[in-house]
Amino acid sequence: MNLTIDLNENDKVIDVKVNGEIDAYTAPKLKDALSSSAEEENVVMNVDLSEVSYMDSTGLGVFVGLFKTINANGGQLYLNGLSERLKRLFEITGLGDIMNINSEVKGGVE
């Protein structure tokens, strides 16, 4: 269970590329990597999930927390590059209706 996180911050735009599995073991690493950026005011965070092979409810919890923190500080969270499986996970839980999710990849982290 390996997870890599590449983060590129340019002014108030944060591009994040996540690679691997997001589960109970790796979710804390993801949360730690993104939480300080999420607390900045008016930030736009683009998270590329195209290389995420698996995510469980712990991973969903990380993104719910990010979403709430970023929105509370006047920013926007975009989850991009979701596989059909990940997209369905967000839709089944109702998060697809309130979060900005997209199958396309946006942002600048390669």
Distance, in Å, from the CA atom of 35 to the CA atom of 91, rounded to the nearest integer, reads: 24
b/e map of 62-79 (b: 16 or more CB within 10 Å)? bbeebbebbeeeebebbb
pLDDT in tens, 63-101: 999 999 999 999 999 999 999 999 999 999 999 899 999
Instruction: Read off the tokens for 68.
Output: 């709430």
Q: What is the pTM of this model?
A: 0.91
Structural domains of the chain, with CATH = 3-102 (3.30.750.24)
